[in-house]
């Protein structure tokens, strides 16, 4: 039981750091500032539902994807570790990751929920790699914990989006900067750990 709780906390912190609900709330408020509260809620729900479906697909089908493309777990950990580290490194310096930045687009408000909110801001390469890494490290329990944890985080993020304007006003610019740097530090450490485990697994496999 303690092992499952520890895994839940680890997965939650990993997802929380890479999604960074507080910082993404500021992005959401900026993108939807011209919308009324009803439309904001609709966009938030669609974006989070889309990102959840993407992550659950990669989390549950991770092993099948490995077999289909001949991908090994060490390769995923190395690649995912590099991606997560780069995102954390940029955040640690007070920058928004280029992998999670909204691009300039002429899409309408409905499409905004899909891009850039769902992809790549919420379900970017780092989030997908993290989900596949966590779910692939164990049996069905690991997959369930990964999906349940991400669902919980999506709920938290949805509430942050709904009350986004109040949260951003309360925390302020300096507060957002501090939170972003702290999340960046956590991500950099997680990415380094994934990279170490990947290199160790690769060396062990070929030794």
Q: What is the pLDDT of residue 108?
A: 53
Task: Tell me whether residue 137 is in a domain.
Answer: yes
CB 55 within 8 A of CB 128: yes
Dihedral over alpha carbons 132, 138, 142, 146 (to 10 degrees): -20
* Residue 155 covered by a domain: yes
Residues sharing a CB contact under 8 Å with residue 89, sequence separation 6 or more, in sequence order? 184, 188
Supply 80's token pair: 């995912």
Residue 112 covered by a domain: yes
Three-class SS state of 88? helix
Could you tell me if residue 5 is inside a domain? no
Q: Which domain holds residue 155?
A: 36-206
* Residue 98: Cβ-neighbour burial (10 angstroms; 0-12, 13-18, 19+): exposed
Mean pLDDT in consecutive groups of 10 residues from the start of the chain, 207 residues: 83 88 86 87 95 91 80 82 83 64 50 83 82 78 90 96 91 82 82 88 86
Q: What is the pLDDT of residue 56?
A: 92
Is 181 among the domain residues? Answer: yes
- DSSP per-residue letters across 37-58: HHHHHHHHHHHHHHHHHHHHHH
What is the SS3 assignment for 1? coil
Q: What distance in Å separates the CA atoms of residue 138 and residue 143, rounded to the nearest whole number?
A: 8
Residue 16 belongs to a domain: no
Report the distance separating Cα 111 and Cα 46, nearest Å.
Answer: 9
Determine contact, residues 97/20, Cβ cutoff 8 Å.
no
75 occurs within a structural domain: yes
Q: Which two tokens stand for residue 7?
A: 């895994």
How many folded domains does the chain comprise? 1
At residue 96, the pLDDT reads 55
Angle, CA 18 vertex, CA 46 and CA 43 arms, to 5°: 15
Integer angstrom CA distances of residue 119 from 23, 53, 59, 127: 16, 12, 16, 10
Does residue 18 fall inside a structural domain? no
């Amino acid at each position: 039981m303690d092992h499952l709780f520890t895994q839940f906390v680890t997965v939650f912190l990993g997802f929380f750091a890479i999604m960074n609900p507080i910082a993404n709330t500021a992005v959401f408020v900026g993108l939807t500032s011209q919308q009324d509260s009803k439309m904001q809620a609709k966009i938030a729900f669609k974006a989070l539902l889309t990102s959840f479906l993407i992550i659950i697909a990669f989390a549950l089908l991770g092993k099948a994807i490995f077999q289909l493309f001949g991908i090994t777990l060490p390769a995923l950990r190395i690649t995912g570790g590099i991606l997560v580290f780069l995102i954390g490194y940029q955040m640690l310096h007070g920058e928004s990751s280029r992998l999670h930045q909204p691009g300039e687009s002429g899409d309408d408000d409905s499409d905004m929920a899909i891009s850039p909110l769902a992809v790549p801001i919420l379900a970017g390469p780092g989030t997908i790699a993290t989900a596949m890494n966590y779910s692939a490290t164990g049996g069905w329990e690991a997959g369930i914990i990964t999906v349940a944890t991400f669902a919980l985080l999506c709920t938290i993020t949805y509430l942050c989006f709904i009350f986004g304007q109040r949260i951003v006003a309360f925390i302020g610019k300096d507060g957002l900067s501090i939170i972003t740097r702290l999340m960046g530090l956590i991500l950099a450490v997680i990415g380094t750990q994934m990279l170490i485990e990947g290199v160790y697994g690769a060396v062990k496999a070929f030794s």
